[in-house]
Chains A and B, each alone.
Chain A
Amino acid sequence: MSTIITRRALVGGGSLGAGLLLSGCDRLIQNPTVSDLIHSEDRLHRSLQQALTNPSTLAPEYRPEQMSPVFRANGSLNPGGELYNGWVADNFQSYRLVIDGLVNRPLSLSMAQIKSMPARTQITKHDCVEGWTAIGQWHGPTVGSLLKLAGVKTNAKYIVFHCADHYRGAPNPYYESLDMFDAFHPQTILAWAMNGQPVTVAHGAPLRLRAERHLGYKQAKYVTRLEAVESFAHIQGGHGGYWEDNVDYDWYGGL
């Protein structure tokens, strides 16, 4: 009998311990040393992926019949505001894509010019950080071909994608960034068509970044400006993207 009580006490003690450990976890999470260690996962995974895999490989592409019947739109669904509403009203004729920063020839391109460029068509999956996946077809010029037109200087390390939307009324507009390798990756495009139609407002009209080896939050919508920079530390919160600044998502976004 006494052994049974001992066993029960042990089980009880074990679950109490688990409870304490759980509440202790939240205190541990706040600890700056622990936080720094945990945050190193972004760099560790990026280095490991680049060391163990061939970084020039393409993201899987799918057949038309494998596409999501409905591609869910999320994030900002309409940037609104006088400027953007004006673009929508004139079917993006007055819209210009600016390419500047560390480039030899700063550019301001109309949608007609962008649509006249050679384009890539790719049916790829969109993996949201939340865990869902949708498959859609995207069509537009590669970011690499646009950057070649502008002539990126050798000291540029990143391309920052500035956007027209303020997510949920945020004071600063949405932005994202890629390193040069991913900016020049053959599947990194500025899509002006989705599923055979011009990109809709809900999906990021007129131009949406597709960086197919990354999570959904890297696929910036409503792109208005490509800025070549040596560092993004001076831009907004300094972490290279809206979600990176505001909720601490990892910058690499490759897993």
Chain B
Amino acid sequence: MSASLADSAPAAEHEDAAPPARYLYKHKLWTRLWHWTNVFVFFIMVGSGLGILNAHPHLYWGDHGAQPDHPWLELPHWPGWATIPGSYNLALSRRWHLFFALILAFNLLIFMIVSLANKHFQRDLAIKPREIAPGHLWYDIKEHLALRFHDAANPTAFNVLQKIAYASVIFVMLPLIIFTGLSLSPGINASWPWLLELFGGRASARSIHFLAMVGLLGFVIVHLALVILAGPIREVRSMITGFWKAPEEH
């Protein structure tokens, strides 16, 4: 009975009616919690970090670096809108930086353990050999330039450029910024001298710490730009609720 009703409906009406939206479960709760904690923590870490940098905005390579050593980079003083707190206060910038450093580090550690346990890393982030073939990379770059970010056959999967970006943040840049930060501590230097040697001395560790921040900030800017290009409402909603509205198929 109902089938015959559907059959009798004019074809034109079928095309005008919007197909029901398809919501796919894309982001697990742990991923979402990690993500939004990072949004908050990263913002504070950059602001308080720039506040600390204002105390001595010169970067050096090697074991030591102070006047009159030669810095490789002389930075301007960061304005109040970029620092936490908004006026120069090294003690408070340090308090905020060192408190939220604990959250940043343990948040990453918990996320890594959970994502190994729930197979998020293995299933969604592992880069398959065929994906890093030059031909596929070039194809994915062209797709990005055409603002096509999703594989129609598997719309919730990360594309290879996404995988590379996320993996470099999770496994390279965040660990690098945490361990270079730790190696600025004279207490840690005594306990784990190998960490200081690994980074080539304290002045170098401080420079790498800054460069890792620049790298992460670069990631955040590109990430935000791509969220906007991919459809900000759909993307932000999926990172809040976990459910991602699949684009209509063409």
List residues of chain A with CB under 8 Å of any chain B CB: 7, 10-11, 14, 18-19, 21-23, 25-26, 29, 37-42, 44-45, 48-49, 52-55, 57-60, 62, 66-70, 72, 125, 127-135, 212-215, 243, 247-250, 252, 254-255
Instruction: Identify the stretch in B81-89, B147-155, B163-171, B238-246 within 8 Å (CB) of chain A at 4 or more residues.
Output: B81-89
Q: Is the CB of A130 within 8 A of B86?
A: no
Q: Point out the residue from A40, A54, A134, A215 that lies within 8 Å of B99, measured CB to CB.
A: A40
Q: Is the CB of B53 within 8 A of A131?
A: yes
Interface size class of B (residues with CB under 8 A): 35 or more
- In the bound assembly, the distance between CA atoms of A42 and B91 in angstroms comes to 11
Q: Are A44 and B102 CB-contacts (below 8 A) given A22-B81, A127-B184? A: yes
- In the bound assembly, the distance between CA atoms of A57 and B182 in angstroms comes to 16
- In the bound assembly, the distance between CA atoms of A215 and B224 in angstroms comes to 38
A and B contact pairs by CB, cutoff 8 A, 6 listed: A25-B85, A26-B85, A125-B202, A213-B190, A250-B94, A254-B188
**Across the interface, which residues of A come within 8 angstroms of B196, CB to CB?**
60
Q: Is the CB of A66 within 8 A of B63?
A: yes
Tell me the total A-B contact number using a CB cutoff of 8 A: 150
Q: Is the CB of B95 within 8 A of A38?
A: yes
Which chain B residue shows the least CB distance to A52?
B191
Q: Is the CB of B99 within 8 A of A255?
A: no
Q: Point out the residue from A21, A54, A70 that lies within 8 Å of B191, measured CB to CB.
A: A54
Which chain A residue shows the least CB distance to B203?
A133
- In the bound assembly, the distance between CA atoms of A125 and B184 in angstroms comes to 11
Q: Are A255 and B95 CB-contacts (below 8 A) given A7-B232, A130-B56? A: no
Q: Is the CB of A53 within 8 A of B187?
A: yes
Query: What distance in Å separates the Cβ of A121 from its nearest Cβ neighbour in chain B?
Result: 18
Q: Is the CB of B190 within 8 A of A212?
A: yes
Which chain B residue shows the least CB distance to A61?
B193
Q: Is the CB of B86 within 8 A of A22?
A: yes
Q: Are A59 and B85 CB-contacts (below 8 A) given A133-B202, A248-B95? A: no
Q: Is the CB of A10 within 8 A of B67?
A: no
Query: What distance in Å separates the Cβ of B194 from its nearest Cβ neighbour in chain A?
Result: 10
**Across the interface, which residues of B come within 8 angstroms of A67, CB to CB?**
64
Q: Is the CB of B63 within 8 A of A135?
A: yes
Q: Are A60 and B228 CB-contacts (below 8 A) given A38-B95, A125-B63, A248-B92? A: no
**Across the interface, which residues of A come within 8 angstroms of B190, CB to CB?**
53, 57-60, 212-213
Q: Is the CB of A132 within 8 A of B65?
A: yes
Q: With A127-B184, A250-B95 given, name 5 new contacts (CB 8 A).
A: A7-B228, A130-B56, A133-B203, A243-B91, A254-B188
**Across the interface, which residues of B come within 8 angstroms of A249, CB to CB?**
91, 94
Q: Decide yes or no whether B185 CB sits under 8 A from chain A.
A: yes
- In the bound assembly, the distance between CA atoms of A42 and B189 in angstroms comes to 17
Q: Point out the residue from A26, A49, A57 that lies within 8 Å of B86, measured CB to CB.
A: A26
The 9 A-B pairs with the shortest beta carbon distances in the complex, nearest first, are A254-B187, A255-B185, A53-B191, A132-B66, A130-B55, A41-B99, A131-B56, A248-B91, A130-B56
**Across the interface, which residues of A come within 8 angstroms of B63, CB to CB?**
62, 66, 125, 133, 135
Which chain A residue shows the least CB distance to B96?
A38
Q: Decide yes or no whether B98 CB sits under 8 A from chain A.
A: yes
Q: Is the CB of B84 within 8 A of A72?
A: no
Q: Is the CB of A128 within 8 A of B56?
A: yes
**Across the interface, which residues of A come within 8 angstroms of B56, CB to CB?**
128, 130-132
Q: Decide yes or no whether B90 CB sits under 8 A from chain A.
A: yes
**Across the interface, which residues of A come within 8 angstroms of B52, CB to CB?**
131
B67-118, CB < 8 A from A: 67-69, 81, 84-86, 89-92, 94-96, 98-99, 102
Query: What distance in Å separates the Cβ of A12 from its nearest Cβ neighbour in chain B?
Result: 12
**Across the interface, which residues of B come within 8 angstroms of A26, CB to CB?**
85-86
Q: Point out the residue from B53, B68, B91, B232 that lies within 8 Å of A10, measured CB to CB.
A: B232
Which chain B residue shows the least CB distance to A70?
B68
Which chain B residue shows the least CB distance to A49?
B187
Q: Is the CB of A10 within 8 A of B228?
A: yes
Q: Is the CB of B186 within 8 A of A68?
A: no
Interface centre among A10, A11, A58, A132 (most CB of B within 10 A): A132
Q: Is the CB of A59 within 8 A of B95?
A: no
Q: Is the CB of A254 within 8 A of B185?
A: yes
Q: Is the CB of B191 within 8 A of A127?
A: no
Q: Are A41 and B91 CB-contacts (below 8 A) given A57-B190, A57-B191? A: no
Q: Is the CB of A134 within 8 A of B188?
A: no
Q: Are A134 and B66 CB-contacts (below 8 A) given A38-B99, A41-B98, A49-B191? A: yes
